[in-house]
Amino acid sequence: NAGVTQTPKFQVLKTGQSMTLQCAQDMNHNSMYWYRQDPGMGLRLIYYSASEGTTDKGEVPNGYNVSRLNKREFSLRLESAAPSQTSVYFCASRSGQGGLHGNEQFFGPGTRLTVL
Amino acid sequence: SQQGEEDPQALSIQEGENATMNCSYKTSINNLQWYRQNSGRGLVHLILIRSNEREKHSGRLRVTLDTSKKSSSLLITASRAADTASYFCATQVTNAGKSTFGDGTTLTVKP
């Protein structure tokens, strides 16, 4: 199993450009999440999808959109990138099915985004 | 605002010593989790403690939870240089809900 994969690993954008960050998980998890992590700080939730077909705003959704394409894939789109969106973006998934590990989140390796 | 806040922000110890990190939170929770993040990597789940539990162990890790004080601690015993990482607590208000992360404690273990 690959776990949670993210593409790309690195990206540099100019202000106003758009891009989509891709995330996929092969663990048959119900819930998926997008976080951003700024230097020296914890993770802040951008959007999440509790189950296929649903998405909800997190703590910092402005400037982002998401699509839960299917159970495996959850993408994050920046329509018009701004320097304030320079950050490391992490995707995570959780089974949400109860049991011993139902609440554990599995994280991807991150996408390092710089907006000039 | 962040639900969980860790302290200290940074901790530096010698190999073999114990490391203790604390997490405080603001609202009632269903569970609290601790994660580890090595530099430049994603987070890795370490341990989960539910609101009706007071202490859990996993290998060299010991987690306590005091719901009356809304606080948790993570103890790493007999630390190793490989334990150098950032450690984050995350709280879940409901069993199926989203998690809220603190800003983390950066632990440096000197060989």
Average confidence score pLDDT of chain A: 93
Position A98 scores a pLDDT of 65
Position A100 scores a pLDDT of 62
d(CA B23, CA B8): 9
Residue A109 has its nearest CB partner, among B31, B42, B95, at B42
pLDDT digits (tens, 9 = 90+) for A68-100: 989 999 999 999 999 999 999 999 999 876 666
**What number of residues does chain A have?**
116
The answer for B 48-87 residues in CB contact with A (under 8 A) is 48
Tell me what the mean pLDDT of segment A95-113 comes to: 83
Q: What backbone phi and psi angles, to 5 degrees, belong to A76? A: -120, 125
Residue B42 has its nearest CB partner, among A40, A103, A107, at A107
pLDDT digits (tens, 9 = 90+) for B33-83: 999 999 989 999 999 999 999 999 999 999 999 999 999 999 999 999 999
Residues of A in contact with B92 (CB under 8 A): 103
Q: What backbone phi and psi angles, to 5 degrees, belong to A85? A: -95, 5
Asked if B45 and A105 touch (Cβ cutoff 8 Å), the reply is yes
Residues of A in contact with B102 (CB under 8 A): 42
Tell me what the mean pLDDT of segment A60-72 comes to: 96
Tell me what the mean pLDDT of segment B15-22 comes to: 97
Position A99 scores a pLDDT of 64
Whether residue A45 is predicted with pLDDT greater than 80 in this model: the reply is yes
Helix (H) or strand (E) holding A5: strand A4-7
Residue B48 has its nearest CB partner, among A4, A59, A104, at A104
Asked if B36 and B87 touch (Cβ cutoff 8 Å), the reply is yes
Residues of B in contact with A48 (CB under 8 A): 98
- pLDDT band per the 50, 70, 90 thresholds, residue A2: confident
Position B1 scores a pLDDT of 44
Position B19 scores a pLDDT of 97
d(CA B103, CA B88): 7
- CB-based contacts of A93: which residues, under 8 Å, 6+ apart? A4, A25, A27, A29, A31, A32, A33, A74, A105, A106
**Cα-based angle B58, A92, A108 (whole degrees, multiple of 5):** 90
CB contact B94 to A (< 8 Å): no
Q: Judge: A42–B45 Cβ closer than 8 Å, yes or no.
A: no
More confident residue, A50 or A18: A18
Residue type, B32: L
Let me know if B56 is exposed, middle or buried by CB neighbors in 10 A (0-12, 13-18, 19+): middle
Position A108 scores a pLDDT of 96
Alpha carbon B20 to its chain centroid, in Å, reads 9
Residue type, A24: A
Q: Judge: B44–A107 Cβ closer than 8 Å, yes or no.
A: yes
Secondary structure (3-state) at A55: coil
pLDDT digits (tens, 9 = 90+) for B2-16: 567 888 999 999 999
Position B10 scores a pLDDT of 95
Whether residue A106 is predicted with pLDDT greater than 60 in this model: the reply is yes
